[in-house]
């Protein structure tokens, strides 16, 4: 069937029929992901003018690569599925691209291609975990690696052993499990890059429904890799009172893990890590990306709102859920704006978090949050 996305017309697989899935996958729910990718590529091209070669490593219908090509990138679309290659070629030719000159479509395993060629930007958007492709991407990419992970249950700690196997870390299924997922992914990617003396700087990261998305600017020198590893560390979480704290380092410090929670003296403590504890955004870059979303994009309003939230979000390593806290305390949850105003009146910084309407970030600990909330309630 024909669809139009981002002002580009293309042919995509029909919907599931007679109980049989099409062999080439097109997900209309990922339009926001692709719209934000195009806006990010536009902003990054201004940041790094030498960046021209873009690899759509798992191209499927070719929609992501086609949209990048229309936007002026020297695009390579890769897939190991013959039907995907045929469809991607057809879509590029229909759009007027001369294959072999303006763009190329390669029928090959993405890892093999990445080891044989160098790209300025590599986009990994596999089904499930991206980690089997991470080493090749960091070994051969010059400037920017874009990554989508759709295996959110392992990332967030809900499928605990699967998360440990895929990401080489201990994730925990807490009320901030969505942020746990982003930080687990970033940690694994940072450690993969460091093996090639490559440092990564997350310049835009978010989670949306069933996936995590991050854009990593690369520094190809050992000192950059060393600096990246310094952003990793561990979290300790109390299952009783929801207190949490963190410490940097690839091994827990002498103070962590604790035997008892310093807030409630409980002993039900979870340890997670190594996780990425540093910043997940470049605020100025996020603002630039937001300004490059055209009104013609169907997801323009949603994308701008998300990026505005990311720009304003505090950089603390976890977020709190207001309803979870209030339930734990036996209190009724008031309006979020009033809840955060009480914290700010007590001298703490706050911001809504993009993960949900009840998520917020603050530099107050859980005891200080309770004290400010009780004071606000009178």
Of all helices (H) and strands (E), which one includes residue 312?
Answer: helix 300-312
As annotated, the residues of the chain forming the CATH 3.30.56.70 domain(s) are: 320-377
Pairing status of strand 141-149 against strand 199-208: unpaired
Q: Is the pLDDT of residue 169 over 70?
A: yes
Backbone angles phi, psi at 48, to 5 degrees: -135, 85
DSSP category for residue 30: G
User: Which of 224, 284, 278, 211 minimizes the C-alpha distance to 43?
Assistant: 284
| Of residues 211, 215, 179, 210, the one with CA closest to residue 315 | 179
What Cα–Cα distance (Å) separates residue 159 from each residue in 151, 154, 170, 208, 230?
10, 4, 11, 19, 27
Higher pLDDT, 169 or 377: 169
Structure tokens at 171: 């994730």
Gap between the Cα atoms of 247 and 244, Å rounded: 11
Element of type H or E holding 91: helix 82-94
161 phi and psi, to 5 degrees? Answer: -70, -35
Q: What is the pLDDT of residue 19?
A: 37
Which tokens go with 319?
A: 């977020």
Helix or strand run (H / E) with residue 272? strand 269-276
* C-beta neighbour count of 329 within 10 angstroms: 16
Helix axes 63-70, 31-47, angle to 10 degrees: 40
pLDDT for res 347? 98
pLDDT of residue 18: 41
What confidence tens digit (pLDDT) does each residue in 111-156 have?
Answer: 999 999 999 999 999 999 999 999 999 999 999 999 999 999 999 9
DSSP-assigned beta bridge partners for residue 85: none
Sign of CA dihedral 234, 173, 228, 131: positive
Mean pLDDT of the chain: 94
Q: Which are the contacts of 250, defined by CB distance < 8 A and separation ≥ 6?
A: 229, 232, 233, 274
Q: What's 124's DSSP letter?
A: E
Q: 320-377 adopts what CATH topology?
A: Phenylalanyl-tRNA Synthetase; Chain B, domain 1 (3.30.56)
Helix (H) or strand (E) holding 115: helix 110-116
- Alpha-carbon distance 203 to 285, whole Å? 7
270-303: per-residue pLDDT in tens? 999 999 999 999 999 999 999 999 999 999 999 9
Say if residue 312's pLDDT is above 90.
yes
Q: Is the pLDDT of residue 24 over 90?
A: no
Q: Are 185 and 167 in contact (CB under 8 A)?
A: yes
CATH 3.40.50.150 in the chain, residues?
Answer: 2-312
pLDDT band at 16 (very low <50, low <70, confident <90, very high): very low
Provide the pLDDT for residue 17: 41
Q: Report d(CA 168, CA 202) in Å as an integer.
A: 19
Whether 366 contacts 241, CB under 8 Å: yes
In angstroms, rounded to a whole number, what is the distance separating the alpha carbons of residues 58 and 269?
40
Residue 27: the pLDDT is 86
Name the CA radius of gyration of the chain, rounded.
22
- Segments in 117-238 forming alpha helices (H): 131-140, 152-156, 160-167, 177-194, 222-229
CATH entry, 2-312, from 1.10.620.20, 3.40.50.150, 3.40.640.10, 3.40.1390.30 = 3.40.50.150
Element (H, E) at 350: strand 350-352
pLDDT band at 48 (very low <50, low <70, confident <90, very high): very high
In this prediction, residues 82-99 reach a mean pLDDT of: 94
């Amino acid at each position: 069937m024909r669809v139009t996305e981002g002002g580009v017309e293309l042919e995509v697989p029909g919907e599931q029929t007679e109980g049989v899935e099409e062999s080439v996958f097109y997900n209309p729910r990922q339009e926001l992901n692709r719209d934000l990718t195009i806006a990010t590529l536009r902003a990054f091209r201004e940041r790094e003018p030498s960046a021209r070669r873009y690899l759509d490593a798992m191209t499927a219908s070719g929609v992501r690569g086609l949209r990048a090509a229309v936007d002026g990138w020297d695009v390579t679309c890769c897939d190991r599925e013959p039907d995907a290659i045929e469809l991607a070629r057809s879509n590029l030719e229909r759009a007027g691209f001369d294959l072999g000159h303006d763009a190329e479509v390669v029928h090959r395993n993405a890892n093999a291609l990445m080891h044989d060629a160098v790209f300025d930007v590599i986009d990994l958007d596999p089904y499930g975990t991206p980690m089997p492709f991470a080493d090749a991407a960091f070994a051969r990419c010059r400037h920017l690696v874009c990554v989508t992970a759709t295996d959110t249950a392992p990332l967030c700690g809900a499928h605990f052993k699967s998360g440990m196997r895929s990401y080489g870390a201990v994730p925990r299924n807490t009320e901030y499990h969505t942020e746990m997922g982003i930080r687990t992914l970033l940690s694994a990617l940072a450690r993969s890059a460091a093996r090639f003396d490559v440092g990564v700087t997350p310049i835009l990261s978010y989670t949306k429904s069933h996936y995590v998305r991050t854009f990593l600017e690369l520094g190809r020198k050992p000192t950059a890799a060393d600096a990246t590893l310094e952003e990793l560390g561990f979290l300790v979480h109390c299952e009783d009172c929801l207190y949490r704290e963190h410490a940097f380092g690839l091994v827990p410090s002498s103070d962590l893990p604790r035997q008892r929670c310093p807030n409630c003296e409980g002993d039900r403590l979870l340890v997670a890590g190594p996780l990425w504890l540093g910043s997940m955004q470049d605020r100025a870059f996020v603002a630039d990306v937001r300004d490059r979303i055209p009104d013609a994009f169907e997801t323009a309003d949603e994308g701008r709102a998300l990026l505005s939230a990311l720009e304003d979000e505090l950089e603390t390593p976890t977020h709190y859920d207001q309803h979870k806290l209030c339930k734990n305390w036996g209190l009724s949850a008031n309006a979020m704006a009033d809840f955060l105003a009480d914290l700010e009146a007590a001298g703490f910084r706050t911001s809504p978090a993009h993960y949900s309407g009840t998520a917020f970030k603050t530099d107050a600990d859980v005891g200080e949050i309770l004290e400010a909330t009780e004071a606000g309630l009178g």
